[in-house]
């Protein structure tokens, strides 16, 4: 029972960390935030805090939101010359 308490505390901290990272990535979907959230999702799945399919689903949804900075047309024209 003592081990269960310790593990529960550790698991709840990992879950809280996961929720904070997801919230940050959803509000500001930059590549860095999504990369950090994906790493935390993978850790939680590895520790079996969340199911591996849920981890895959969360990562897929985050990937769709990613804001990737595209080069401007002016930058492309200067490269071609």
The C-alpha atoms of residue 2 and residue 8 are separated, in whole angstroms, by 10
CATH code of the domain occupying 2-80: 1.20.58
For residue range 26-74, what is the model confidence (pLDDT) as tens digits?
999 899 999 999 999 999 999 999 999 999 999 999 999 887 666 666 6
Domain ranges within the chain, ordered by starting residue = 2-80
Q: What was the pLDDT predicted at 36?
A: 95
Task: Quickly list H helices, 1-81.
Answer: 2-27, 31-46, 52-65, 73-80
| Cut 0.85: pTM above it | no
What pLDDT band is residue 75 in, cutting at 50, 70 and 90?
A: low
């Amino acid at each position: 029972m003592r081990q269960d308490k310790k593990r529960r505390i550790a698991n709840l901290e990992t879950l809280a960390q996961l929720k904070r990272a997801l919230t940050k990535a959803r509000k500001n979907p930059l590549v860095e935030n999504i990369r950090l959230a994906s790493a935390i999702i993978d850790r939680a799945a590895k520790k079996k805090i969340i199911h591996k399919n849920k981890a895959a689903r969360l990562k897929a949804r985050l990937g769709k939101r990613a804001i990737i900075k595209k080069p401007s047309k002016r930058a492309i024209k200067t490269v071609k010359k």
